[in-house]
């Protein structure tokens, strides 16, 4: 009986030693009920990997995670690294930009951290969406009310050059 119990514990011990799942450098959760979230990682430091960086739209209730050793979305390949995102937008009309600190041009996602984008729990707020960020230690590093996602208008597209029409190449 004792030998059989020990043998049955070997698979469990292997799982515990090797880890039950993959270690994530970070995860970004779209906790909204009705809006997609657009993510675009900054230009990759390795030009050969730039076309494989995170450039996606996350459906409501879904998430995007990056494994620690996945150099496409975690260029330094370490749990002690962080990754910048040029775009973290709640899509729709109007669209909202979520960055931390508020007013920054990029969103820094901490190593082994999580980002949650959700409806603002403060009813009547001028900001319908907020972002909560936790660090690797599981502590919330955002202000008590979260980071407000501010209304965002895409920059205007340049007007086509009327002189360019009919030009031969």
pLDDT in tens, 48-59: 888 888 889 999
Give average pLDDT by consecutive 10-residue segment, the chain, 169 residues: 45 33 77 94 84 91 91 84 85 88 72 90 92 88 88 76 62
On whether the pTM is more than 0.95, the answer is: no
pLDDT digits (tens, 9 = 90+) for 69-83: 888 888 888 888 888
- Residue 2 domain-assigned? no
- In the three-class reduction of DSSP (H, G, I as helix; E, B as strand; rest coil), residue 29 is classed as strand
Q: Which residues contact 32 (CB under 8 A, 6 or more apart)?
A: 60, 90, 117, 118, 119, 129
- Can you give the residue range of the structural domain that contains 68? 20-153
Q: How many domains does the chain have?
A: 1
* Three-state secondary structure string covering 99-144: CCCCCCCCEEECCCEEEEEEECCCCCCCCCEEEEEECCCCCECCCC
As a whole number of angstroms, the distance between CA 49 and CA 75 comes to: 9
As a whole number of angstroms, the distance between CA 111 and CA 80 comes to: 5
- Residue 125 domain-assigned? yes
- Residue 81 domain-assigned? yes
């Amino acid at each position: 009986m004792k030998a059989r119990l020990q043998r049955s514990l070997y698979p469990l011990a292997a799982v515990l030693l090797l880890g039950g799942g993959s270690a994530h450098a970070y995860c970004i959760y779209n906790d909204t009920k009705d809006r997609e979230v657009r993510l675009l990682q900054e230009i990759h430091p390795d030009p050969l990997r730039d076309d494989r960086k995170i450039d996606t739209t996350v459906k409501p209730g879904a998430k995007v995670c990056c494994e620690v050793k996945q150099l496409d979305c975690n260029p330094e390949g370490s749990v002690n690294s962080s990754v910048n995102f040029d775009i973290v937008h709640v899509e729709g009309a109007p669209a909202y930009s979520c960055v931390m600190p508020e007013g920054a041009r990029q969103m820094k996602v901490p190593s082994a951290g999580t980002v949650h984008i959700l409806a603002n729990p403060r009813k009547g707020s001028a900001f319908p969406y907020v972002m909560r960020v936790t660090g690797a230690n599981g502590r919330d590093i955002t202000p008590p009310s979260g980071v407000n996602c501010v209304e965002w208008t895409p920059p205007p597209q340049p007007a086509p050059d009327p002189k360019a029409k009919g030009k031969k190449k």
